[in-house]
């Protein structure tokens, strides 16, 4: 199923290219000309200042190039945008919704795709989609095991990493089981974000992948029996770890940036992020001390892709499509990978680019806090979203009294 749909998308993309560049480009020109003057309400999680600034920069660029205005709707949770579209569908607003573009992936994408709240497939319309790495970066076409089917367009890669302050600690846990002895040696000096936040949930998923008896099982939707069997070692491990956490595991930072703040304040020695360049960029912008270092676990860590999707009732679909295409522009991707900007790794395949375009990436500045690709190790696939939902619910059931 997965591969079939991937192939369909690829075939469609291929077809649109084959049908003569003239036809494709005239269709594209039509989109671009309709997009002029439209305002794109881009709903994006607003908790990260650098992303907000990047979106702001995108807004300036597309205004200059295409006459499109971007208004970022800063969400404290992407689910807000999903529920807004649902509310609009409820009220019968099928053609003038309030959301034009959503920064989305995983469970929110599954939810919107299942409920037919998305416009598409549209990625085959994007001229820049041909640069996207659809082979060695599988998360670009399979979002949390869900086939993307052209219903969302990738724009940045994320990989789960840990950050520590090398001025305070030297040894760090390299595997999930290592966390327990490490926390015993450093009680109260580590925590994970709240499990309702994707970062906290990702930490538990990472642990699940390493501890589950049958890792492959996690790629299918969870069932009651499987869930109990596969997560039993996770809970045994977590029961040991929890009392050793910051605030004795009674309280958790709200999200990744809140955990980063704790690291900066010296409240903890080890935190996590979903962006290998975040620490380097944070040092650059004064948010972390320059002694912070980033690493991944020895068996690899979870990686995924951030996408943008267009709701079915967006009144400015053309402009949203143009923005999605702009995000895939090699120059945009190189700008985003600059640690002074976002530092997020590109979704493009460098070997599909021209030498000139490749140089944009090679010329980017580096930092001691920035890990190399080799240090990051293998990228593990996200489990099916049902595991995440269930882990969160089970965590609540077990630990919230």
Partner 1 sequence: MDAALRQIRVRIRGLSLFPTGLRPWHMVSAIVFGVLGIPIAAGLFLTVLPAFGYLPSIGGEALSLDPWCELFHTPGIATSLRITVTTGLVATLLALVLSFSFCAVVHGRMRDRGAESFLAPLLAAPHAAMAIGLAFLIAPSGWLIRLSNPWLTDYTVPPDIASVHDPWGIALVLGLLVKEMPFLLIVILGALNQIPVGQQMRAGRALGYGQGVVWIKIIAPQVYAQIRLPVYVILAFSLSVVDMALILAPGNPPPLSVVALRWFMAPDVTRYLPAAAAAMLQLLVVVAAIGLWRFGEQGVALIGLWWMTRGGRGVTGEPGLKLAAAFAMIGLALGLGSLVTLAIWSFAWRWPFPDALPSTWSLEIWGRQAHTLIWPLANTITLAGLATVASVFLSIAWLETGDRMGRRRQTAVFHPIYIPLLLPQIAFMFGAQVLVLKLRADGTFLAVAWVHLLFVFPYVLLALVDPWKALDPRYARSASALGASPAGTLIRVKLPILLRPILIASAIGFSVSVAQYLPTLFVGGGRLATLTTEAVAMASGGDRRVVGVFAFLQTLLPFTVYLAALIIPRIVFADRRALSGRT
The contact set with partner 1 (CB under 8 A) reads 41, 43, 46-49, 52-53, 56, 71, 73-84, 86-91, 93, 96, 98, 107-108, 111, 168, 188, 194, 196, 246-248, 250-262, 264-267, 285-287, 289, 396-397, 399-401
Q: Judged by CB, which is closer to partner 1: 5, or 83?
A: 83
Contact 98, 67 (CB under 8 A): no
What length is written for the chain?
Answer: 401
- Considering the complex, what minimum distance in angstroms separates the CB of residue 374 from partner 1? 31
Minimal distance in Å, beta carbon 43 to partner 1?
7
Q: How far is the CB of 60 from partner 1 (least distance, A)?
A: 9
Query: What is the crossing angle of helices 317-327 and 330-337, to 10°?
Result: 60
DSSP 317-364: HHHHHHHHHHHTSHHHHHHHHSTTTT-PPPSB-GGGS-HHHHHHHHT-
> Under a CB-based contact definition with an 8 Å cutoff, are residues 81 and 102 in contact?
yes
Cis ω on the peptide bond leading into residue 121 (within 30° of 0)? yes
Is the Cβ of residue 170 or residue 401 nearer to partner 1 in the bound state? 401
Question: Rounded to the nearest whole angstrom, what is the least distance from the CB of residue 228 to partner 1 in the complex?
Answer: 18
Q: How far is the CB of 116 from partner 1 (least distance, A)?
A: 13
280 close to 369: Cβ distance less than 8 angstroms: yes
Instruction: Pick between residue 36 and residue 248 the one whose CB is nearest to partner 1.
Output: 248
- Token digits for 340? 């002074």
By DSSP bridging, strand 161-165 and strand 292-295 are antiparallel
List b or e across 138-150, with b for residues whose CB sees 16 or more CB atoms inside 10 angstroms: ebbbbbbbbbbbb
For the chain, the straight-line distance linking the first and the last C-alpha, in angstroms and rounded, comes to 42
Cβ distance to partner 1 smaller for residue 137 or 317: 317
Give the residue with the Cβ less far from partner 1, 8 or 111: 111
CB of 278 to partner 1, least distance (A): 12
Closer residue to partner 1, CB minimum distance, 14 or 187: 187
Strands of 20-64 (E only): list them.
39-45
The residue among 50 and 137 lying less far from partner 1, judged by its C-beta, is 50
CB of 160 to partner 1, least distance (A): 17
């Amino acid at each position: 199923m997965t591969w079939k749909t991937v192939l369909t998308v690829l075939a469609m993309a291929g077809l649109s290219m084959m049908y003569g560049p003239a036809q494709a480009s005239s269709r594209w020109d039509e989109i671009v000309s309709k997009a002029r003057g439209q305002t794109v309400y881009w709903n994006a999680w607003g908790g990260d200042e650098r992303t907000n600034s990047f979106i702001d920069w995108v807004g300036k660029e597309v205004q200059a190039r295409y006459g499109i205005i971007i208004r970022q709707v800063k969400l404290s949770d992407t689910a807000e945008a999903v529920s807004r579209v649902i509310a609009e569908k409820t009220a019968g607003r099928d053609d003038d919704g309030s959301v034009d573009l959503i920064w989305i992936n995983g469970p929110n994408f599954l939810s919107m795709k299942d409920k037919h709240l998305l416009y598409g497939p549209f990625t085959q319309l994007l001229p820049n989609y041909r640069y996207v790495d659809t082979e060695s970066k599988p998360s670009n076409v399979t979002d949390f095991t869900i086939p993307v089917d052209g219903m969302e367009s990738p724009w940045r890669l994320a990989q789960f990493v840990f950050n520590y302050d090398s001025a305070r600690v030297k040894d760090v846990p390299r595997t999930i089981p290592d966390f327990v002895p490490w926390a015993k040696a450093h009680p109260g000096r580590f925590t994970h974000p709240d499990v309702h936040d994707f970062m906290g949930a990702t930490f538990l998923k990472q642990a699940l992948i390493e501890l589950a008896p049958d890792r492959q099982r996690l790629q299918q939707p969870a069932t009651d029996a499987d869930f109990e069997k596969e997560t039993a070692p996770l809970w045994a491990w977590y029961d040991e770890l929890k009392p050793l956490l910051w605030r004795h595991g009674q309280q958790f930072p709200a999200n990744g940036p809140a955990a980063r703040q704790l690291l900066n304040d010296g409240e903890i020695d080890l935190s996590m992020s979903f962006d290998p360049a975040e620490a380097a960029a944070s040092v650059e912008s004064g948010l972390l001390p320059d002694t912070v270092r980033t690493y991944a676990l020895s068996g690899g860590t979870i990686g995924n892709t951030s996408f943008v999707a267009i709701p079915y009732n967006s009144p400015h679909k053309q402009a949203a499509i143009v923005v999605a295409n702009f995000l895939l522009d090699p120059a945009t991707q190189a700008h985003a990978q600059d640690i002074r900007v976002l530092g997020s790794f590109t979704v493009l395949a460098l070997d599909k680019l021209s030498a000139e375009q490749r140089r944009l990436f090679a010329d980017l500045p580096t930092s001691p806090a920035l890990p190399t690709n080799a240090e990051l190790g293998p990228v593990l696939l996200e489990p099916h979203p049902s595991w995440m939902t269930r882990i969160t619910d089970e965590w609540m059931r077990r630990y919230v009294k």
